[in-house]
């Protein structure tokens, strides 16, 4: 069923790439959204009825092995595809309703193509398909971003990560002489430590974890509704799927859990600090997502991990937090044309209070899901809940309690997009209560959030120097990257060019050869031109040497 859905959607997308008049843009985006929604219906139906099938197309056959494209439909695939289907559908509706997007149809097409690539990634059973769609998703993300400055470092970082994966897969393929991913779990793979380190490094870059996150900060120059799509339909989600696929290799690396814990701890702490201190809402979103990705990565690497419905719902919930932040941006900052959270004037606080309520409900849902997934609150989850409650509450504190804000009850805002959020959340909560999920698990989460929101324990930060402009614009890791990697590489390159090409070859070797050949020519000319006897003698010596080389020289 998934194969049919993917094929139909791909055909629709390629047909939609045909250029159409601007006035039909909204209509086409609606049509695409409706087609996608109906595809979602078919998918949900197939999932419920437990329909299973396997499609495999032989892409190419070489002496190095067959390369095939596989799309299989089974329970695990349905579950893994679910969050991305849901997120893409929400993104499509959002795109249709968002009045400021000028290329609605194109964005809709790229969202669907991106979704198809994610499905191909999930269903891949060999290295070639896996690495191909990792690269394709990175290419498509440039169309989602649609901003040269925002996409520049994103492309460089992801290229590095992709080449890391390329290297790891090439090592595995070369040593196992097998392209199938299923071979990974069978025995200890060759160079497993090296491969695991490379994969782990690539995943950290793609997730945008601590010290690798600065490319995500660059995305702030893209439009917000495109900006947060990159987090949940592109690079970090690719990393999530890859983690699930490559766990058998990662687990062969002994200090894996220690390294993962360190990475996650640092990302959580840095994410919290960033989300609190940085005033730019888009940068705040990056830091909040860093925290959410830490959670997802940690859950995924639990020893008894299973990607079930709860985990899929946590991904959707994480996306919904972004949707809330987007609406804050949309309702709040659109009106005032400001981007800094606590520098806003004359706003209508009503939508913000509504968003606060929605955020809290969402937070309760996440708490229930986490409890459903883990059956207990581990130390990590409790830490995450404290830090994320603090960071989440802080967004609203900054927006609502700042002295700079003058509230006014404006009513001319477009409230339609809010309905998407409310509808999705209501249905999500309905399903959870209907299934009798652990509702009591939501209580501590809500209590924490309310405590941080009302008591505002870090309120003093609002008026301290940390909010100064210089601090806000400092990009520490960009500077480190420049000083440790980019500059030295340039210096090495330039030095090599000067010393090897110019000094050694041009000014030494070639000069010596020129001088030597000139000298030889001059000597022989002087020997032979004085009189005929000398000329004859030099010819005879040459003939003798030639004869000697041809007869004895080589064997002697």
Partner 1 sequence: MAENLLLMIIFLPLFGSLFVALSRDNNGTGISVNAAAVAVWTLLFNIALILVLFSQMNTESDNIQYVTTFKWLLPQTLSISFGVDVFALIMILGINLALLIGILSLRSHFKNQKFQIGFSLLFLCAYTGLFSALDLMSFYVFFVIMIPPLFMQIGMDADNRIPGRFLLYNFLGTFLLLFAVVMLYCSEPNNILIANISDIKLDGQSGIWVWSCIFMGFMFRIPVWPFHYWISSVNTVIRNPLTFICANMLPISGLFGFLRFWPAAIPEQISSLTPVFAIFCAATMLYLAFRGYSLNNARDKLFSYIFIYYLLYLLGILAPTDILQRNIAYSLFAFLLVFSGLSMVAFHLEKENNKSPGSLNGILCILPKASFAYSLLISVAIGFPVSALFWNNFIIVSQVLYTNVYIGVTAVLTLLLAAAFLLQHLYSLKDNECMLPTKDTLRDVDNVQFGMCLAVMSILFLSFIKPLWFVY
Of the pair 404, 490, the CB lying nearest partner 1 is at 490
Query: CA 125, CA 67: separation in Å to the nearest integer?
Result: 10
Task: State which residue, 153 or 343, has the beta carbon closest to partner 1.
Answer: 153
Among 177, 108, 99, 170, residue whose Cα is nearest residue 143: 108
Q: Does 10 bind partner 1 (CB under 8 A)?
A: no
CB 37, min distance to partner 1, A: 30
Residues 408, 346: contact at Cβ < 8 Å? yes
* Segment contacting partner 1 by CB under 8 A, of 63-71, 206-214, 402-410, 523-531: 63-71
In the complex with partner 1, the residue whose CB is nearer, 532 or 554, is 554
Q: How far is the CB of 142 from partner 1 (least distance, A)?
A: 9
The backbone torsions φ and ψ at residue 335, rounded to the nearest 5 degrees and listed phi first, read: -70, -35
CB of 32 to partner 1, least distance (A): 24
496 binds partner 1 (CB under 8 A): yes
In 3D space, the residue among 393, 401, 477, 548 whose CA is nearest the CA of residue 211 turns out to be 477
Binding flag, residue 191, partner 1 (CB under 8 A): yes
Closest CB to partner 1 among 238 and 289? 238
Residue closer to partner 1, measured from CB, 35 or 181? 181
- Which residues are registered as beta bridge partners of 180? 126
Structure tokens at 501: 């090409």
Among 254, 414, 475, 501, binds partner 1 (CB under 8 A): 501
Q: Is 474 helix (H, G, I), strand (E, B) or coil?
A: coil
Q: Find, among 276, 305, 268, 285, the residue nearest to 380 by Cα.
A: 268
Helix or strand or coil: residue 60?
A: strand
Q: Does 167 bind partner 1 (CB under 8 A)?
A: yes
Six token digits for residue 167: 């290297």
**SS3 label, residue 258:** helix
Tell which one of 152, 245, 343, 478 touches partner 1 (CB under 8 A). Answer: 152
Does position 497 bind partner 1 by CB under 8 A? yes
* By CB under 8 A, residue 490 contacts partner 1: yes
Q: Are 271 and 290 in contact (CB under 8 A)?
A: yes
| Shortest Å distance, C-beta 155 to partner 1 | 6
Question: Which residue stretch of 54-62, 349-357, 392-400, 462-470 sits at the interface with partner 1 (rule: CB under 8 A)?
Answer: 54-62
Candidate list 139, 503, 536, 540; residue touching partner 1; CB under 8 A? 139
Nearest to 2 by CA among 161, 124, 148, 151: 124
Contact between 555 and partner 1 by CB under 8 A: the answer reads yes
Give the one residue of 170, 306, 527, 546 binding partner 1; rule: CB under 8 A: 170
Does the protein bind partner 1 through residue 193 (CB under 8 A)? no
**For residue 457, how many C-alpha atoms fall within 13 Å in the half-sphere facing its CB?**
10
Q: SS3 for 341?
A: coil
**Residue 447, helix vs strand vs coil:** helix
For the window 99-138, what string marks contact with partner 1 as x by the rule CB under 8 A? ----------------------------xx--xx--xx-x
Least distance (Å) from partner 1 to the CB of residue 176?
A: 9
**Per rule CB under 8 A, is residue 478 in the interface with partner 1?**
no
Q: In this structure, what is the dihedral angle of CA atoms 314, 217, 227, 318, given to the nearest 10 degrees? A: 10
User: Residues 458, 393: contact at Cβ < 8 Å?
Assistant: no
Single out the segment in contact with partner 1 by CB under 8 A; choices: 31-39, 57-65, 293-301, 323-331.
Answer: 57-65
Strand partners, 65: 62
Looking at 22, 382, 423, 491, which residue binds partner 1 (CB under 8 A)? 491
Q: Which element (helix H / strand E) includes 527?
A: helix 510-529
The Cα–Cα gap between 412 and 366 comes to 33
- Shortest distance, CB of residue 169 to partner 1, whole angstroms? 7
Q: Which of 10, 67, 183, 300 binds partner 1 (CB under 8 A)?
A: 67
Contact, 289 vs 322, CB < 8 A? yes
Secondary structure of residue 180 in the 3-state scheme: strand
* Residues within the interface to partner 1 (CB under 8 A): 59-60, 62-64, 67, 127-128, 131-132, 135-136, 138-139, 148-149, 152, 155-156, 159-160, 163, 166-167, 169-171, 173-175, 177, 191, 194, 489-494, 496-497, 500-501, 505-506, 509-510, 554-555
């Amino acid at each position: 069923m998934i194969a049919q859905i993917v094929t139909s959607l791909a055909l629709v997308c390629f047909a939609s790439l045909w250029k159409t008049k601007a006035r039909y843009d909204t209509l086409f985006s609606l049509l695409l959204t409706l087609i996608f929604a109906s595809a979602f219906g078919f998918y949900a139906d197939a999932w419920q009825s437990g329909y299973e099938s396997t499609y495999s197309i032989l892409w190419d056959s070489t002496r190095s092995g067959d390369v095939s494209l596989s799309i299989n439909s089974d329970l695990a695939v349905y579950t893994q595809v679910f969050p991305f289907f849901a997120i893409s559908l929400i993104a499509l509706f959002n795109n249709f309703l968002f009045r400021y997007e000028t290329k609605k149809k194109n964005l809709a097409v790229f969202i669907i193509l991106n979704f198809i690539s994610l499905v191909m990634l999930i269903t891949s059973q060999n290295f070639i398909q896996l690495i191909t769609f990792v690269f394709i998703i990175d290419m498509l993300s440039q169309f989602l971003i649609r901003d040269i400055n925002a996409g520049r470092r994103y492309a460089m970082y992801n290229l590095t990560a992709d080449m890391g994966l390329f290297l790891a897969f090439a090592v595995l393929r070369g040593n196992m002489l097998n392209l199938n991913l299923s071979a990974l779990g069978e025995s200890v793979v060759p160079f497993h430590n090296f491969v695991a380190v490379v994969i782990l490094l690539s995943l950290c870059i793609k997730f945008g974890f601590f010290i690798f996150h600065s490319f995500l900060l660059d995305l702030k120059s893209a439009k917000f509704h495109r900006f947060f799509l990159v987090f949940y339909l592109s690079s970090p989600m690719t990393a999530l799927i890859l983690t699930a696929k490559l766990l058998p290799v990662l687990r062969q690396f002994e200090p894996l859990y220690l390294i993962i814990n360190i990475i996650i701890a640092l990302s959580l702490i840095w994410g919290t600090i960033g989300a609190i201190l940085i005033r730019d809402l888009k940068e705040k979103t990056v830091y909040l997502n860093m925290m959410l990705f830490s959670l997802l990565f940690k859950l995924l690497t639990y020893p008894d991990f299973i990607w079930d419905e709860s985990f899929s719902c946590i991904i959707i919930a994480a996306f919904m937090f972004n949707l809330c932040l987007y609406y804050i941006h949309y309702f709040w900052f659109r009106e005032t044309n400001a981007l800094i959270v606590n520098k806003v004037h004359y706003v209508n606080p009503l939508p913000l209070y509504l968003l606060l309520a929605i955020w809290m409900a969402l937070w309760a849902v996440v708490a229930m899901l986490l409890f459903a997934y883990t059956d207990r609150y581990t130390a990590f989850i409790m830490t995450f809940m404290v830090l994320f409650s603090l960071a989440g509450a802080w967004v609203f504190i900054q927006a609502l309690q700042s002295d700079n804000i003058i509230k006014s009850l404006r009513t001319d805002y477009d409230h339609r997009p809010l309905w998407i959020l409310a509808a999705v959340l209501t249905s999500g909560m309905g399903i959870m209560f209907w299934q009798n999920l652990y509702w009591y698990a939501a209580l501590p989460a809500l209590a924490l959030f309310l405590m941080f929101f009302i008591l505002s324990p870090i309120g003093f930060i609002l008026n301290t120097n940390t909010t100064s402009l210089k601090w806000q614009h400092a990009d520490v890791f960009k500077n480190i990257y420049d000083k440790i990697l980019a500059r030295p590489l340039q210096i090495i390159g330039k030095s090599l060019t000067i010393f090897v090409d110019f000094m050694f070859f041009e000014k030494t070797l070639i000069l010596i050869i020129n001088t030597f050949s000139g000298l030889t020519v001059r000597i022989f000319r002087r020997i032979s031109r004085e009189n005929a006897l000398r000329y004859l003698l030099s010819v005879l010596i040459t003939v003798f040497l030639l004869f000697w080389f041809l007869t004895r020289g080589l064997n002697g």
